[in-house]
């Protein structure tokens, strides 16, 4: 394939669920077009400003944040932030002159994709969830293509623009079985002892953290060792448990392939990115969906897996009553663990990243 010096601009952020798909798409396009130039646009002060440079890409920040659902003084600043962000997005687009624009959701993708589309730059958005955010709903009228991970999104988007691809995931997750020994050594874990991986998303999940803290003695009686990613917001509170036997607490896990490879059982939120990754990883999962999201879409994401006998779900309100019983039943049944792991792996859409890159390539070649 002839190397093309395309200019590709990407925007997505606020949480890992928007950032990592954008990075995965960029990595795939970079492998196809080594001479292409990439620029990310994020929200100032958010985690993309750190994670994107770590992945080897340049990023520019906009002064933007979302609208708070409850009445708050922060909302008074929103119109000014929006005007500022559109103004700066115009400057970025005018200076960079992209051949294509890609949005994966989050605050910053709104102004950037709006400006790109208004300048007739071919644009694509990727919607990870079963229920889209307001940014992508608005952008869908202006962009050429919408890559989705769930059926039924023609309720929200123009049907002729929708392509079902699944969600991009990190390619290093595709072969974690070969990394188990190396991963357990990396985390200084005991071989032959069950490892529980606890994930609450990049910022953390208060209720999951409270659960694990309250169940440390119970988990110890089950002879479990724990990798606990408690999140940025909670690390100062829970890092004291690093002094406990068989417990490792992390603000954030940079080596997710090793974390998954080391794990025997996973407790996780049910954000779209997490569900997609866990399908590929193929380990038994207990989902604890966040109830604080639009249209309760994490429960819908989790139930799509549970209905295929591929995971266990425990609602936050049921944790105190159900957790010990369901966890104990799972830990004593290698058959159930194998069934869940096998079934969830059948649901993996492993070619999402390449399919999205194919759609971007079509836009570039038009």
| pLDDT, the chain, mean | 90
DSSP secondary structure letters along 233-282:
TTHHHHGGGGGSTTEEEES--S-HHHHHHH-SEEEE---HHHHHHHHHHT
To the question of whether residue 45 is assigned a binding role by annotation, the answer is no
Distance (Å, whole) CA 58 – CA 324: 46
Distance (Å, whole) CA 17 – CA 109: 13
Q: Which residue has the higher pLDDT, 83 or 207?
A: 207
Distance (Å, whole) CA 311 – CA 150: 18
Distance (Å, whole) CA 219 – CA 193: 12
Q: Which residue has the higher pLDDT, 149 or 313?
A: 313
Is pLDDT of 363 > 70?
yes
Distance (Å, whole) CA 36 – CA 34: 6
Q: Percent of the chain, pLDDT > 70?
A: 94
Answer yes or no: are the C-beta atoms of 107 and 13 closer than 8 Å: yes
To the question of whether residue 152 is assigned a binding role by annotation, the answer is no
H runs (alpha helix) in the chain = 16-32, 48-54, 78-96, 109-118, 134-139, 180-186, 206-214, 216-221, 235-238, 256-262, 272-281, 297-306, 319-331, 334-346, 352-365
**pLDDT digits 0-9 by tens, 80-131:** 667 778 888 999 999 999 999 999 987 778 899 999 999 999 999 999 888 8
Angle between helices 16-32 and 352-365 (to 10 degrees): 60
To the question of whether residue 129 is assigned a binding role by annotation, the answer is yes
Distance (Å, whole) CA 275 – CA 290: 13
- Output b/e per residue, 101-134; b: 16+ Cβ within 10 A: bbbbbbbbbbbbbbbbbeeebbbbbbbbbbbbbe
Determine the pLDDT at residue 199: 96
To the question of whether residue 298 is assigned a binding role by annotation, the answer is yes
To the question of whether residue 355 is assigned a binding role by annotation, the answer is no
Question: Taking CA 40 as the corner, what is the angle to CA 38 and CA 45, rounded to the nearest 5 degrees?
Answer: 155
pLDDT band for position 336 (50/70/90)? Answer: very high
Determine the pLDDT at residue 191: 94
Is pLDDT of 74 > 90?
no
Phi, psi of 314 (to 5 degrees): -130, 120
Neighbours of 82 (CB within 10 A): 19
3-state secondary structure 28-67: HHHHHCCCCEEEEEEECCCCHHHHHHHCCCCEEEECCCCC
**pLDDT digits 0-9 by tens, 143-188:** 999 999 888 899 999 999 999 999 988 778 888 999 999 999 999 9
To the question of whether residue 170 is assigned a binding role by annotation, the answer is yes
Please state the pTM of the whole predicted model: 0.80
**pLDDT digits 0-9 by tens, 22-37:** 999 999 999 999 999 9
Answer yes or no: are the C-beta atoms of 40 and 29 closer than 8 Å: no
User: Mean pLDDT over residues 224-234, rounded?
Assistant: 95
User: Mean pLDDT over residues 14-26, rounded?
Assistant: 86
User: Mean pLDDT over residues 133-141, rounded?
Assistant: 87
**pLDDT digits 0-9 by tens, 248-293:** 999 999 899 999 999 999 999 999 889 999 999 999 999 999 998 7
Is pLDDT of 2 > 60?
no
Is pLDDT of 3 > 80?
no
Answer yes or no: are the C-beta atoms of 19 and 13 closer than 8 Å: yes
Distance (Å, whole) CA 200 – CA 227: 12
Return the DSSP state at 232: T
Determine the pLDDT at residue 73: 58
Determine the pLDDT at residue 1: 46
Determine the pLDDT at residue 72: 58
Return the DSSP state at 9: E
Answer yes or no: are the C-beta atoms of 202 and 290 closer than 8 Å: no
Determine the pLDDT at residue 78: 62
Determine the pLDDT at residue 230: 96
Please give the structure tokens belonging to residue 262.
Answer: 């080391």
Is pLDDT of 318 > 80?
yes
To the question of whether residue 325 is assigned a binding role by annotation, the answer is no
User: Mean pLDDT over residues 296-314, rounded?
Assistant: 93
Neighbours of 318 (CB within 10 A): 12
Neighbours of 347 (CB within 10 A): 18
Is pLDDT of 70 > 90?
no
H runs (alpha helix) in 97-192 = 109-118, 134-139, 180-186
């Amino acid at each position: 394939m002839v190397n093309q010096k395309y200019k590709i601009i990407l925007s997505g952020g606020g949480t890992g669920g928007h950032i990592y798909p954008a990075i995965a798409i960029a990595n795939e396009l970079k492998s196809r077009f080594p001479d292409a130039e990439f620029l990310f646009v994020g929200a100032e002060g958010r985690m993309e400003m750190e994670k994107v440079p770590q992945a080897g890409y340049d990023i520019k920040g906009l002064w933007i944040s979302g609208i708070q659902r409850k009445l708050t003084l922060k909302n008074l600043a929103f119109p000014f932030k929006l005007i500022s962000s559109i103004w700066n997005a115009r400057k970025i687009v005018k200076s960079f002159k992209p051949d294509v624009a890609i949005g994966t959701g989050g605050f910053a993708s709104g102004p950037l994709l709006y400006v790109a589309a208004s300048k007739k730059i071919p644009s694509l958005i990727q919607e990870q969830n079963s229920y889209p955010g307001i940014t992508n709903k608005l952008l869908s009228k202006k962009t050429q293509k919408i890559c989705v991970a769930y059926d039924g999104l023609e309720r929200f988007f123009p049907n002729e623009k929708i392509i079902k691809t699944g969600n991009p995931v990190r390619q290093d997750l595709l072969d974690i079985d070969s990394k188990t020994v190396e991963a357990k050594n990396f985390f200084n874990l005991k071989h032959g002892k069950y490892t529980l991986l606890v994930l609450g998303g990049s910022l953390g999940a208060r209720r999951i953290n409270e659960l694990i803290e309250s169940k440390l003695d119970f988990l110890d009686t089950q002879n479990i060792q724990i990798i606990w990613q408690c999140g940025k917001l909670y690390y100062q509170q829970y890092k004291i448990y690093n002094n406990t036997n068989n417990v490792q607490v992390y603000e954030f896990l940079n080596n997710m392939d090793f974390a998954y490879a080391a794990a025997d059982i996973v407790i996780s939120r049910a954000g779209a990115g997490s569900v997609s990754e866990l399908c590929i990883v193929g380990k038994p999962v207990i989902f604890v969906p966040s109830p604080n999201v639009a249209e309760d879409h994490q429960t819908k994401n989790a139930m799509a897996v549970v209905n295929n006998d591929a995971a266990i779900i425990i609602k936050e309100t049921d944790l105190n009553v159900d957790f010990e019983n369901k966890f104990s039943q799972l830990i004593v049944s290698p058959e159930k663990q194998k069934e869940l792991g096998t079934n969830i792996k059948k649901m993996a859409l492993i070619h999402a990243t390449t399919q999205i890159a194919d759609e971007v390539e079509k836009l570039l070649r038009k």
